[in-house]
Amino acid sequence: MRIPARFAPIVFGALLSAIMVAIVSAVVLATSRGIDSAFTSRWVSSCLTTWPIAFPTVTLIAPWVRRLVGRVTA
């Protein structure tokens, strides 16, 4: 099953924000609270809390960032 190309910006935003949230949440939790038996549950909770903020942010900001990069690169 393939997703139609017209949904590419939304799929891009969903995947990028999910990957970003997963990595950043893990790093922040590991450095602030350490890795213990509750790490996984705290990490999942953190991801579920922050992804709804990251997804629309990435989806709305990505076009602006692409234009900015186009202006500042040769």
pLDDT in tens, 12-32: 999 999 999 999 999 999 999
* pLDDT at 8 (0 to 100): 94
In angstroms, rounded to a whole number, what is the distance separating the alpha carbons of residues 22 and 3?
A: 23
Q: How far apart are CA 10 and CA 47, in angstroms?
A: 19
* Confidence class for position 74, pLDDT limits 50, 70, 90: confident
